[in-house]
Amino acid sequence: MSSGGTLFGHRVQSAFPHRRLAPAPTVRGTLEIARGPQISLDGCRVIHRDESADAAFTIARADDGALHVSCTAAGGFRLEPEALRIVADGACEDPDVWEHRLVTVVVPLLLAERGEVALHAAALARGGRAVAFAGASTRGKSTLALAAAEAGMAVIADDAIVIARAEGGALVWPGPTGLRVAPPGAQRKHTVATGMPPPQRCPLAAVVVLGDRTAGAAELTRLAPAQALPALVPSLIFAGSDRLPAAMADAAWLASTVPVLRCRLPDGIERLADAIDNVLGRLLPEAPEFSPADA
C-alpha cells in the first residue's frame, strides 16, 4: 500500500492513487483504503437510499456492523469503522469522480460511525478559527470555497467537513485538497487545485446554513436552538435510519456548542468574495480582515 498524505487528520495508506490528500502532519490514526472484490448488498439490511442527487447511493448494514455503500458513480465500498478501514471495489471509470465520492461522502461517513460529526459543508479559516457553510447540493458550497480561495482566503474544505468534540468546543479537521467545480460553460464538474494545502485543524466558531441568494447585500440571521436543530439535520452525513437518534443528538450538540446562523449571499460570482469576507468579519470580529494585498 502507498501513503501520500492525510485526510481529516488521518494518515492514508491506500491501494489506490490519490490526488487530493493533504500534506499535513499526521496527528491521529491511520486510515486504510484497500482494494477488494465487488461490494454486494446481498444479506445486508438497507438503511438509506438517495436517488435525488447526481449519483444514487444505497447504504446497507451488514451483520457484523460494517456498512456497505453502493454508488452508481463510484462503485462499492465496505466501511469498517472500528478498524478505520475502507474496502473499495474501484468499479468506476473516472478516478476523479471516484476520489470525490470517497473523500466527501465515504470517509466522512466512516468517521461519523466512529462518533464524530460529519457535515455537508464548506469551511473557511481566519485567525485560527473556522466557519462552516452548510447546505444541500446546489446551494453553492464549492462555488463559495472557490471564490474564497481565489481571493486568498484559507479553505479547510469545499464540500464535507469532520468535526470532533473537544474540551470546551468543537474542532474542525482539514479535508481534501482542491475544489470540485464546473468551469464556466462546462456541464461537468472537475477538481481544480487551489495552490494551497488546507490549514491545520482549528476550533469551529460558527455554522452558517446557506439559504437562497438575494439581490441585495449578504443577510445573516442567528437561529434560536429550536430553529437551529432542523436547519442542521439535512446537512449531516450519517448512515441512515438506524443512526437517526445519534444524528439528532449530534445536531443538538452542535447547536448548543457554536452559533448557528442562516445566510443569504448575494447573486453574482463577482460579489461573492466581498460578501464572504463581510460574513467572516461579522462572525470573527477580532480576526484580521481580508485585504487584496494578503492574496
Nearest to 292 by CA among 277, 281, 282, 279: 277
Q: CA 70, CA 211: separation in Å to the nearest integer?
A: 30
The CB-based long-range contact list for 230-236 (8 Å cut-off, 24+ gap) reads: 231/260, 231/262, 232/119, 232/134, 232/207, 232/260, 234/136, 235/119, 235/120, 235/121, 235/134, 235/135, 235/136, 235/209, 236/112, 236/117, 236/118, 236/119, 236/120
* Tens-digit pLDDT string for the chain (295 aa): 666 689 999 999 999 999 889 886 767 899 999 999 999 999 999 999 988 656 789 999 999 999 999 999 899 999 999 999 999 999 998 898 999 999 999 999 999 999 999 999 999 999 999 999 998 776 778 889 888 988 989 999 989 999 999 988 999 998 898 877 665 555 666 666 666 666 789 999 999 999 988 888 889 999 998 999 999 999 999 999 999 999 999 999 999 999 999 999 988 888 999 999 999 999 997 544 434 333 3
Q: State phi, psi for 140 to the nearest 5 degrees.
A: 100, 25
Query: 154 near 126, Cβ under 8 Å?
Result: yes
For the segment 74-98, what is each residue's pLDDT rounded down to a tens digit?
A: 999 999 999 999 999 999 988 989 9
Domain positions in the chain: 6-114, 119-294
Domain 119-294 -> CATH class: alpha beta
